Structure 1
């Protein structure tokens, strides 16, 4: 069970794992075409932040030199005419020196200062107010660490990625009906539309937002599994095209290659951190409150992981 949990937690490899497609393919023209398509897709995915250097670092992080680094992962439910909110927020701190990753899921209702907005609100509202940059600034302030990289996955468009890999299989642990689809317990097959419905359900789940985040991670991990299989290589153009449209990151292609090369063993030692919150209503709105002591505990652990003084 523990080994299965570790596999499920390797979410920091979402994009870098796709590079393994190139390694699977033999030499020659076909491999060159896959490599070229992959590089083109990564260039499409790349969206630098407005603020290139965090004020919480004295010098830029260098993955080619095996520096510890952090990633903010945002699962965003964007629809036409609506920027949406970042309903999934995961901070990963990666340290090759102690060969470990620490993963912190931030509940969407966590009450904190929204940096750049001048207000205190739910942390997931930062994306609605100011996109990725405001989300990064807000998380940096909340955790007192630099956010070196981000990865944003548009869950609305993720159905295209699911269809591009020919559908996925997930292990469902909750029997429920949502958006006209019935999902039974056990292994279930999902096409793009069903995967989107599966990832959105929250209110019928006794685990609430945590349950939805779990299903979103299942979908992303299943896509990576299918995308890295030999049977999917014939669809590599569709896969990369869908990724380019629905995944954005400030990681460059060269940085992804360096991460795959220099950090690939850290995935065997992943620790899940948890924020202890107290739920309350303020003005009739539900928030998760984090005490100063709890916030300091999180900051100390993450800063130690990143080897920050």
Structure 2
């Protein structure tokens, strides 16, 4: 009987060792996975980071993400092709206020006529990027809205397809049947690969809403990418996703700033208000422009200043 008990105890110890070994291997495997994930993320962040001037001249006091100060972001969708610097075909200003738990989003028409800061000329606002890159785009947008732009995020639209394919394609709701670039898009729920998503986001002339319709589709693709990127199925594909982001996204946000925004500002996404700039088309010297009345510009300035809690709104 004693020998039997001893044998049973030995068997239990053996199985405990086996279980501990299995658990250890699992933990080790997770550790290797996390290390690999972190290494890929760090490489992508290094490739994405593009510093610009320290602080906007329109910022009288530095913002503190630790203290949850409201901040602004300029989103740039740049159509860069080989041998061409490109233009910012998509320009969206975001102001983020964690105190009101809200985001104000203003889509800027690519043909909007305004002063290009740094050149002293009146031109289409999307030409600012072609003339002076990110910094001239920021300076011009700051001048138009009379607010500081704290951060920028630039997405290369030509490389958009690489990001879409990395997350396994995207699904969107299409409200307009059309064909573009050799692809046909039916109305309703459609699933797109990278090439299709790029054509879906680029079409403008066949849309009765013009640039506003294209901006809507581009926002749909961006939202779908975020949704797919956050899903569990992408965990096994993280390396390809990070590589695609590193190749096609630039920002002056540091990793620490991203962590602080995630920590202190995540509730701001509860309420997102989207605005379109009201104006009218006009031919000036034989060139088409989108002209914004002074009262509309002033109303937008007041809206953003109030949301950023800046004096003078």
TM over 0.5: yes
Residue 179 of structure 1 and its aligned partner are, at CA, apart by 1.0
Task: Give yes or no for contact 1:78–1:84 (8 Å, CA) kept in 2.
Answer: yes
| Unaligned 5+ runs, structure 2 | 1-28
TM-score in terms of structure 1 length: 0.88
Residue 52 of structure 1 and its aligned partner are, at CA, apart by 1.8
RMSD: 1.4
Question: What is the aligned partner in structure 2 of residue 42 from structure 1?
Answer: 45
Q: Choose 31-40 or 205-214, whichever is displaced more.
A: 31-40
1:236 aligns with 2:238: yes
Distance in 1 of aligned mates of 2:145 and 2:157: 25
| Unaligned 5+ runs, structure 1 | 1-25
Question: What is the aligned partner in structure 2 of residue 85 from structure 1?
Answer: 87
Task: Give yes or no for contact 2:107–2:215 (8 Å, CA) kept in 1.
Answer: no
Distance in 2 of aligned mates of 1:115 and 1:268: 34
Structure with higher RCO (Cα < 8 A, 6+ apart): 1
1:121 aligns with 2:126: no
2:158 partner SS: coil
Question: What is the aligned partner in structure 2 of residue 295 from structure 1?
Answer: 297
1:197 aligns with 2:199: yes
Residue 273 of structure 1 and its aligned partner are, at CA, apart by 2.5
Distance in 2 of aligned mates of 1:295 and 1:159: 35
TM-score in terms of structure 2 length: 0.87
1:217 aligns with 2:219: yes
Distance in 1 of aligned mates of 2:103 and 2:223: 17
* Structure number with bigger Rg: 2
Task: Give yes or no for contact 1:45–1:249 (8 Å, CA) kept in 2.
Answer: yes
Task: Give yes or no for contact 1:43–1:252 (8 Å, CA) kept in 2.
Answer: no
Task: Give yes or no for contact 2:155–2:250 (8 Å, CA) kept in 1.
Answer: yes
Task: Give yes or no for contact 1:64–1:255 (8 Å, CA) kept in 2.
Answer: no
Task: Give yes or no for contact 2:125–2:140 (8 Å, CA) kept in 1.
Answer: yes
Instruction: Note the 1:76-225 alignment, pairs <5 A.
Output: 76-225=78-227
Q: Choose 217-226 or 121-130, whichever is displaced more.
A: 217-226
Residue 302 of structure 1 and its aligned partner are, at CA, apart by 0.8
Q: What is the CA deviation profile of residues 211-230 of structure 1, one whole-angstrom value per residue up to 9, with x for unaligned ones?
A: 11111111122111111111
Question: What is the aligned partner in structure 1 of residue 70 from structure 2?
Answer: 68
1:139 partner SS: helix
Question: What is the aligned partner in structure 1 of residue 19 from structure 2?
Answer: none
1:28 partner SS: helix
Question: What is the aligned partner in structure 2 of residue 14 from structure 1?
Answer: none
Distance in 2 of aligned mates of 1:27 and 1:71: 35
Distance in 2 of aligned mates of 1:274 and 1:168: 25
Residue 27 of structure 1 and its aligned partner are, at CA, apart by 5.7
Residues paired across the two proteins, number: 283
Question: What is the aligned partner in structure 2 of residue 266 from structure 1?
Answer: 268
1:85 partner SS: strand
Distance in 2 of aligned mates of 1:166 and 1:136: 33
